[in-house]
């Protein structure tokens, strides 16, 4: 009897094992069939919390980081209709160019939509190294400002691809450009400068890279220590430029590429009082650290400007929601920037007003200061 009993126990155990391995095989087969790639795995959240989606900003605002390449020939009615929906009172077009192109863009704005557009000039970096290049560029900037430019925008090509007449890379802090920064200081116009790119673009392209998807979609964005130089080199050049020209106001684009390290950005701002920042294309970094970001916005409330960069009206509401609401875990609009969800900072009105327009009114010259909320 005893042996019979133990036999049946053994049988039961055996049957269990077969069942267990059978289910495991089925599960493996199912997961193989349903393997979902990272790009398409995007489940809508099941979380039930209060939602306050926004379509327009609480206060009229100035977007200091926008690009309209063909502004001279544009029908600005279409643009201002879109701006009005967002409550954007002034758009700063950083792609003004120089000379006649710039003049035509400014005149189109002045004639057809006065007070709605600000245009920044750009420097033509061709022939750096020719004698007197810096003085010539500074004179051109002076002319462009006389023609109505309210600032200077420097693209990331400086540091990345701009070469001198000998074919060497021109560093961001190259002394041959000093006359330009000095002139901007004398003219009291800000220099909005984009240097480098997110640090992840220099990191190995593998499963530990937060910008893996962006680099897969845009392989030309991948960098390394020799393409053209390390991230840290470019950033050090930019900071050295800021240090050398204390009488010039610089707007470091994209939070100086430290939106994911606000302690580091704090130390930069503390050391360089002539520098302010804007958050174009990096709101996803702020929206994943609402407490830290709110403390940062509180401490540096006079040194942060509203910037967005690419002109996609449908993406602005994410910015408003991160800045204004206390919402939790809401989606961001571009997975290759962020596969994580957003949280709102719930900034108080007095700080919102500074970010949305007061700081820009102070830093960018010749703006009409009337008609804004107190
Ligand atoms: Zn830009």
CA of 44 to the centre of ligand 1 (A): 30
CA of 21 to the centre of ligand 1 (A): 56
CA of 118 to the centre of ligand 1 (A): 15
Q: Please name every residue paired with 128 in a beta bridge, in sequence order, or none if there are none.
A: 130
**1 has pLDDT over 50:** no
Strand order in the sheet with 250-252: 61-66, 88-93, 117-122, 151-154, 191-193, 250-252, 275-278, 304-305
CA of 57 to the centre of ligand 1 (A): 21
Cβ atoms of 16 and 22 closer than 8 Å: no
CA of 27 to the centre of ligand 1 (A): 48
CA of 7 to the centre of ligand 1 (A): 76
More confident residue, 22 or 220: 220
CA of 36 to the centre of ligand 1 (A): 34
d(CA 43, CA 96) in angstroms, rounded, equals: 41
**14 has pLDDT over 70:** no
**5 has pLDDT over 50:** no
CA of 4 to the centre of ligand 1 (A): 81
Helices (H), strands (E): how many in the chain?
A: 14, 8
CA of 157 to the centre of ligand 1 (A): 11
Q: What angle do CA 241, 243, 249 make, to 5 degrees?
A: 80
CA of 64 to the centre of ligand 1 (A): 10
CA of 66 to the centre of ligand 1 (A): 6
Report the largest interatomic distance among the alpha carbons of the chain, rounded to a whole angstrom: 108
CA of 1 to the centre of ligand 1 (A): 85
**141 has pLDDT over 50:** yes
pLDDT digits (tens, 9 = 90+) for 230-277: 999 999 999 999 999 999 999 999 999 999 999 999 999 999 999 999
| Architecture (CATH level 2) of domain 61-314+346-363 | Alpha-Beta Barrel (3.20)
Q: Domains of the chain: which residue ranges?
A: 61-314+346-363
User: What's the confidence (pLDDT) of residue 39?
Assistant: 86
Contacts 24+ apart (CB under 8 A), 170-173: 170/125, 170/128, 171/237, 172/234, 172/237, 172/238, 172/240, 172/241, 173/237, 173/238, 173/240, 173/241, 173/244
Identify the DSSP state of 169.
B
d(CA 287, CA 294) in angstroms, rounded, equals: 10
> Mean pLDDT of all residues in the chain?
93
Q: Please name every residue paired with 66 in a beta bridge, in sequence order, or none if there are none.
A: 93, 309
Cα distance between the two ends of the chain: 95
Give pTM, 2 decimals.
Answer: 0.91
């Amino acid at each position: 009897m005893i042996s019979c009993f133990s036999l049946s126990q053994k049988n039961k155990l055996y049957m269990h094992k077969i069942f267990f391995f059978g289910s495991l095989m089925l599960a493996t087969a199912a997961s193989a069939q349903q393997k979902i790639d990272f790009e398409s795995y995007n489940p809508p959240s099941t979380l039930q919390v209060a939602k306050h989606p926004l379509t327009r900003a609480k206060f009229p605002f100035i977007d200091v980081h926008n690009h309209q390449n063909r502004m001279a020939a544009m029908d600005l009615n279409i643009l201002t209709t879109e701006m009005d929906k967002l409550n954007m009172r002034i758009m700063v077009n950083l792609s003004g160019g120089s000379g006649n192109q710039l003049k035509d863009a400014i005149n189109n704005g002045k004639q057809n939509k006065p007070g709605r557009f600000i245009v920044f000039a750009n420097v033509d970096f061709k022939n750096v190294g020719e004698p007197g290049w810096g003085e010539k560029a500074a004179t051109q900037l002076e002319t462009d400002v006389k023609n109505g430019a309210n600032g200077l925008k420097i693209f990331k090509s400086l540091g990345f691809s701009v070469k001198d007449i000998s074919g060497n890379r021109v560093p961001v802090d190259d002394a041959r450009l000093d006359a330009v920064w000095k002139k901007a200081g004398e003219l009291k116009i800000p220099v909005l400068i984009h240097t480098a790119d997110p640090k992840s673009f220099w990191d190995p392209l593998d499963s530990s890279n937060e910008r893996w998807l962006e680099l897969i979609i845009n392989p030309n964005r991948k960098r390394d220590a020799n393409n053209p130089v390390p991230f840290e080199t470019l950033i050090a050049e930019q900071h050295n430029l800021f240090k050398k020209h204390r009488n010039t106001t610089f707007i470091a684009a994209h939070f100086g590429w430290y939106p994911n390290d606000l302690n580091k950005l704090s130390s930069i701002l503390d050391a360089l009082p002539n520098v302010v920042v804007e958050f174009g294309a990096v709101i996803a970094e702020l929206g994943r650290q609402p407490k830290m970001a709110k403390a940062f916005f509180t401490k540096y409330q006079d040194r942060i400007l509203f910037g967005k960069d690419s002109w996609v009206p449908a993406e602005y509401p994410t910015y408003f929601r991160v800045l204004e609401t206390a919402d939790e875990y809401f989606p961001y609009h571009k997975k290759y920037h962020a596969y994580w969800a957003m949280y709102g900072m719930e900034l108080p009105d007095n700080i919102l007003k500074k970010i949305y327009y007061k700081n820009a009114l102070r830093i960018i010259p010749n703006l009409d200061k009337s008609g804004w909320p107190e």
